[in-house]
Structure 1
Amino acid sequence: MCNTTFDVAVIGGSLGGVQAALSAAQSGKKVYLCEETDWVGGQLTSQAVPPDEHPWIESCGCTRRYRQYRSEVREYYRNHPKADSALRGKKVCPGGAWVSGIAHEPAVAHRILMGHLAPYLASGEITLELHTRPVSAVVRNNTIESVRVQNTAIHVYREIRAKFFLDGTDCSDLLPIVGARYRVGAECREQTGEPHAPEIPRPADMQPCTWVAALELSEEKQLEPMEKPALYELFRSVQAPYAPVPLLSWYGPDARTGRETRFAMFDEEDPVHCGGLWRYRRIIAKGEYTDNRPEVTLFNWPQNDYGFGNLFEDPNAEIHRTLAQQLTLCAVYWLRHDALRPDGGHGYPVRLRPDIMGTASGLAKAPYIRESRRICAHHTICEQEISRECSKGILHRNDSVGVGHYAIDIHPTTQSHTFFYTPAWPFEIPLSAMIPVDLKNLLPACKNIGCTHLTNGCFRLHPVEWNIGEVAGHLASFCIEKRMEPLQVWKTRLADFQTLLVEHGIQLHWDPAQLKGLG
């Protein structure tokens, strides 16, 4: 077993984890980064979820590096050798999706992120190990001394020593390993004062995961047979956990009303919603390429939200992991063979696209994790601070280290099957929510900051996780240079640290003049 010492160790190559590693390397630190799959980038790449963004993202409300990333995505498609004129617009949306202005292929996202890492990998400032996960740690006097990691591909262990350890895993797997205090699932009203929190805590009641698939819309004559999944009849007979409707049907939850609602495949079939589910996360649209390639969407719909158990803090986690994959395969089979069409027929000509995902199956490399473990922080962000139902306006924070916006959006949970949606004000990310109450050299780098089950519903999105990761890398570097702990930075050097963040292009506060149309 090889012992290696670094300035900063980022355990987990999520979207935030990658940004944390980049920030630390840009600050001249020697960085270790590991990732359990073979793609870094988490929800944007290995989990295959296009960016969910707020309406002002084209002009403000994200970090400079995130805006640069968005420009690089568009530049890639403008310069594609097979791009049609439709793809060469100034603000092109690669797939014409209605969930995001830059819905794009996971492989493209991974290529761009690896391009950002490339110069630091070449210089040795970042050491990246794939197929690698944390398994144990040595902690003394509230300080992490080392973390043992395992390369699951070659079954080799390494002991990683660092001055700071950042948890960039999507489920925040490092927290229990190092003995940090954390929360999972739904807190109760007495704990948080949140109006929509349950009366009693429900630690097993989490947002569902989704195992995303890439689907192509094909000509019927081109379709090869699809083998019926072994569990198809089981899932076909299952009722949705949130309403008396079949799970595999055109029904889905409408969190705005608290009832089920009916969806449709294509825009012209859907008179109620802003668009059919096919265009929801479409990444390749008809006519965008001169070779007339078929349309492709990322299949992350109500039908394949897995709400029957959790992938962590659950004795049956591995079983649920397998069942989540099987549910998606069954949902694809249903869509192809049994989904009711408006003309009275059944099924649509779709097939899986393994090449889009970089997998043999056509499913994503990893499940989409909406909710992770969350640190017990010096400040916990609660519903009443950001909900438009509970507060009168934007809460400006003196210790802000970034901004974001998204509605509080909770998919049907795994225990109570509760779903919830309420508009939120644009929010600012407090540094105090990134500082653990216990360990001195541990920082969160993705969805695992001090938020609640409810506020995680809007802090889980791509631009916010990216911002958190960027800040975590800068904070670790600042602490190393100043020989301080994060708590000391918050209490005594906050202005200096915020100045550093602004220099690196991190927006700290919302300017009301930028927020056109905000009621």
Structure 2
Amino acid sequence: MKINVTILLLLLTLQLSAQNHVFVETESFQNKGGWVIDQQSFVVLNSSYIMAHGMGRPVKDASTTVKFPKPGKYHVWVRTKDWAPFPKGPGKFQVSVDGTPIKQIFGESGSDEWKWYDAGETDIKKNEIILSLKDLTGFNGRCDAILFTDAPKFTPPNKLDELTAFRKKLLNLGETPSSPGRFDMVVVGGGIAGTCAAISAARMGMKVALIQDRPVLGGNNSSEIRVHLMGDVDKNHYPKLGRIVREMDNGDPGNGNPDAKEYGDKRKIDIIKAEPNISLFLNTFVYKAETQNDIITAVVGRDIATNKETRFEGSFFSDCTGDGTLGFLAGAEFRMGRESKAETGESLAADKADNFTLGTSNLWASLPVDTVTTFPETPWALQFSDEYHIDKGKADWEWETGFGNFNTITQAEQIRDHNLRAIYGNWSYLKNNKKEKYAKQELAWVAYIGGKRESRRIIGDHILNQMDIQEGKFYPDGSVTATWTIDLHFPDAKNSKYFEGQEFFASTKHIKVAPYTIPYRCLYSKNIQNLFMAGRNISTTHVAFGSTRVMRTCGMMGEVVGFAASLATKYKTTPRGVYEHHLPELTAILKGETLAPQP
């Protein structure tokens, strides 16, 4: 029996080695044309993909050079989906080999599942060809990967585990990742919180890696999402806090401003690059954490365009991802959703615990133009009427999807797509039914990266709650002074009437609070020894999170984390050890009385 199994394995190996698979990741295309990289569903797909985000106008072709081991007949497989199959969606595109289009049209299958589609056979006549994608609509067609195989009966795997292994093997991702060396502090997430944490730690003398999964810094305050900064820094108990936030602050361009420059992307990156102690890694999605017991030793990230992997070793780590991604990967305790009144004693808590979270926004804006423009009918989008439509030429914070109907982490793509169906459907209605007002208006910008509000909250040694906020409790380790209202969103009643279960428009009730302080114990993990956190994923209840989540407040959290990390390094202790043994020194730094000596 052993001999037979050995022979079978040998034959299988020989059979596989005889096959030529040429696997092309679309995000690695050399020329993206007008297509954009989307990594928001990496946690679901284990990959990025490219998308034709043309706001109703076809984008320029994406193309790349592909090398083959030998010319010949190859079977072609295309991995894609129909993102709005009602019954067939708008994301149509074609694949061309050396300028010759494959006959099949992709992106209109009527299935919203990512899977491989059989594109038939093509004749590869030379060892190097040009592969291109042609967008046919401008309405967010997307493609994950393209496979060429000379094995006619081979079908690429669709199951995630099998596909991930297949993808890794053909991309040689099993090889040892590159290493930029060891860092004192590894900050994962380059929003306002993470950027401020990196700068704070670096200016205290720490060697810092700042890892961001997009090409820009700022997170929700970047030109990709365009949310203005809120929360005050001038009411702080500690005058040292807020200085770095001010450096990041590009003024108040409002939400969804059509001018990308108003959000200061270049300015943020220039500030980081001017810091000699910071190594910046953009376009890098951290998908793996290496741990020993309850200590993180390293994280591994993958470039969202090239798929190159990098391993970052560090002494301390800070989860500034918003989603609590690093904490989750490392096994940190976390909560997601609402606690009950019985559990927290909060009057604003839900009667029963549930998975309800605040939603995600994709902002948009239109601008006046000199001539009359048109916009197509959108039968695949949400349908509006004289009775109900949003009669505005731009979005603000109210355009929001989630509200417990979606998981903001695992269903990020569906949330974004639902927002797009609302935006395009409403705009189509305005353009075709209110021409007197919108005939000379044109969509100028629509966000394809979602601006999230809520997902995981990592549990620390203290969980901030409603009473802490409203009673203005000042704990000995009080650090960041927060000023924003308790701002918990819920579906707008009229929107619910017309789109029950598919809401995309929000309301809120602002509950004013006096300035209060967030304890330092909310800024490090309860059960992972060397993990800090800053941003919307800190240790709070759902109710308290409604106040702590705004970006100037989150930026100050990052500043505190940088200071605390320097003390943990100086005294060779943990984040908890700073609280237990070195709190007076941390407080002195926050007051601006002293700076810890550089390690």
Question: Normalization by structure 2: what TM-score?
Answer: 0.61
Is the 1:149–1:157 Cα contact (8 Å) retained in structure 2? Answer: yes
Counterpart-to-counterpart distance in 2, 1:55 and 1:31 = 25
Q: Which moved more, 1:303-312 or 1:20-29?
A: 303-312
What code does the residue aligned with 1:484 have?
A: T
What code does the residue aligned with 2:527 have?
A: D
1:300 to 396, 409, 415: 396
Is the 2:185–2:315 Cα contact (8 Å) retained in structure 1? Answer: yes
Change beyond 3 A, Cα 1:126–1:197: same
Counterpart-to-counterpart distance in 2, 1:504 and 1:324 = 48
Residue aligning to 1:19? 196
Shift of 1:191: 2.0
| Structure 2 unaligned blocks of 5 or more | 1-176, 492-500
Shift of 1:505: 10
Count of residues paired in the alignment: 405
1:236 to 358, 363, 384: 384
Counterpart-to-counterpart distance in 1, 2:474 and 2:459 = 22
Residue aligning to 1:44? 221
Question: Greater Rg, structure 1 or structure 2?
Answer: 2
Cα offsets for 1:236-293 (capped at 9, x unmatched): 379xxxxxx84x436xxxxxxxxxxxxxx5xxxxxxxxxxxx7xxxxxxxxxxxxxxx
Residue aligning to 1:187? 339
Counterpart-to-counterpart distance in 2, 1:333 and 1:504 = 59
Report the 3-state secondary structure (helix = DSSP H, G, I; strand = E; otherwise coil) of the residue aligned with 2:264: helix
2:597 is the alignment partner of 1:501: no
Residue aligning to 1:286? none
C-alpha RMSD of matched pairs (Å): 3.4
Change beyond 3 A, Cα 1:327–1:306: farther
1:352 to 443, 462, 472: 443
Counterpart-to-counterpart distance in 1, 2:520 and 2:333 = 18
Residue aligning to 1:249? 390
Residue aligning to 2:568? 479
Is the 1:43–1:368 Cα contact (8 Å) retained in structure 2? Answer: yes
Report the 3-state secondary structure (helix = DSSP H, G, I; strand = E; otherwise coil) of the residue aligned with 1:302: coil
Aligned pairs for 1:195-210 (under 5 A) are: 195-202=347-354, 204-210=355-361
Counterpart-to-counterpart distance in 2, 1:304 and 1:498 = 39
Change beyond 3 A, Cα 1:489–1:324: same
Is the 1:5–1:160 Cα contact (8 Å) retained in structure 2? Answer: yes
Change beyond 3 A, Cα 1:38–1:332: farther
Change beyond 3 A, Cα 1:306–1:197: closer
Change beyond 3 A, Cα 1:499–1:228: farther
Shift of 1:464: 0.4
What code does the residue aligned with 1:177 have?
A: L
1:465 to 554, 557, 564: 554
1:152 to 274, 284, 304: 304
Residue aligning to 1:366? 449
Change beyond 3 A, Cα 1:335–1:415: closer
Quick check: which one's strand share is greater?
2
1:67 to 246, 253, 256: 246
Percent identity over paired residues: 22
Report the 3-state secondary structure (helix = DSSP H, G, I; strand = E; otherwise coil) of the residue aligned with 1:411: strand
Counterpart-to-counterpart distance in 2, 1:213 and 1:5 = 41
2:406 is the alignment partner of 1:323: no
What code does the residue aligned with 1:300 have?
A: D
Is the 1:311–1:318 Cα contact (8 Å) retained in structure 2? Answer: no
Aligned pairs for 1:256-275 (under 5 A) are: 265=392
Residue aligning to 1:211? 362
Shift of 1:163: 0.4
Residue aligning to 2:479? 401
What code does the residue aligned with 2:380 have?
A: L
What code does the residue aligned with 1:206 have?
A: T
Shift of 1:306: 5.0
Counterpart-to-counterpart distance in 2, 1:136 and 1:55 = 35
Report the 3-state secondary structure (helix = DSSP H, G, I; strand = E; otherwise coil) of the residue aligned with 1:380: coil
What code does the residue aligned with 1:64 have?
A: R
Residue aligning to 2:152? none
| Structure 1 unaligned blocks of 5 or more | 75-92, 239-244, 251-264, 266-277, 279-296, 354-361, 507-519
Question: Normalization by structure 1: what TM-score?
Answer: 0.70
2:488 is the alignment partner of 1:410: yes
Is the 2:375–2:432 Cα contact (8 Å) retained in structure 1? Answer: no
Q: Which has the higher contact order (CA 8 A, sep 6+)?
A: 1
